[in-house]
Amino acid sequence: MGYFGTLVYSEGRWRTGRPTAVPFLMVDVHDSDIATVDYRTADASGGRFFLGYEPRVYFDEPDASAPVDVDAEAEGYARWVRDAVGTELEPAEVRRLMASPGGVPPTDEVVEQTVERLLTVSGLPLPEWPTDDDAPPG
């Protein structure tokens, strides 16, 4: 079984759970195969895209998620990075890391590696991924 969890970057640091301030970046990982990336600015604009697989492809259920306009989301995320982090990022760098709308399997063994590549090109610090030792007993 892969990693399941949500990490949020806001106010200059990573934490688990939900956002506490805007702008924020939220990364929700499902079984180390899908990462849902949500980003919001101070004016509440933002977007969502996936790393690894889009849920509609992964679960073979067309209604599991709307198809992502990868070009628009890559541009939106690059704009968020510029405004929130101060890093200039080419949308093409983001686009090449995004889940394929056509379902082409990703090359990484676990989606956490793709998340780290996205964060690195974005000029963001890498999170400390929670381990099984961080889970509550039972």
What's the confidence (pLDDT) of residue 75?
97
SS3 64: helix
pTM: predicted TM-score of the whole model, two decimal places? 0.91
What's the confidence (pLDDT) of residue 132?
62
What's the confidence (pLDDT) of residue 138?
40
pLDDT tens digit at each of 138 positions of the chain: 788 999 999 999 999 988 888 999 999 999 999 999 999 998 889 999 999 999 999 999 988 998 899 999 999 999 999 999 999 999 999 999 999 988 887 876 799 999 999 999 999 999 998 776 555 444
CB 77 within 8 A of CB 49: yes
DSSP letters spanning 85-138: T-----HHHHHTTBPPTT-PPPSSSSHHHHHHHHHHHHTPPPP----GGGSPP-
For the chain, give every domain's residue range: 5-121
